Amino acid sequence: MAWLLRRASVADLPAIMALETSTFGSDAWSAEAMRSELAGAHTHYLVATPEGSDAVVAYAGLLAPASAQQADIQTIAVAPTARRGGLGRTLMLQLMAEAFSRGAREMFLEVRADNPGAQSLYEQLGFEQIAVRPRYYQPDGVDALIMRAPLSEPRTSLVEPVPPAAPITATAPGEPVSTSGEPAGASAALTDQPDPTAEGAS
Total domains in the chain come to: 1
What is the separation of C-alpha 175 from the centre of its chain, rounded to a whole number of angstroms?
A: 16
Would you say residue 196 lies in a domain? no
Residue pLDDT, tens place only, 1-54: 688 999 999 999 999 999 999 999 888 999 999 999 999 999 999 999 998 899
Residue pLDDT, tens place only, 73-95: 999 999 999 998 899 999 999 99
Would you say residue 174 lies in a domain? yes
- pTM of the model as a whole: 0.78
Would you say residue 121 lies in a domain? yes
Would you say residue 201 lies in a domain? no
Cα-Cα-Cα-Cα torsion 86, 154, 201, 17, nearest 10 degrees, comes to: -80
What is the maximum span of the chain, computed from C-alpha positions, in angstroms? Answer: 50
For residue 37, give the CATH number of its domain.
Answer: 3.40.630.30
Domain boundaries, position 120: 2-191
Would you say residue 200 lies in a domain? no
User: What CA–CA distances, in Å, run from 123 to 98, 118, 179, 196?
Assistant: 19, 9, 20, 11
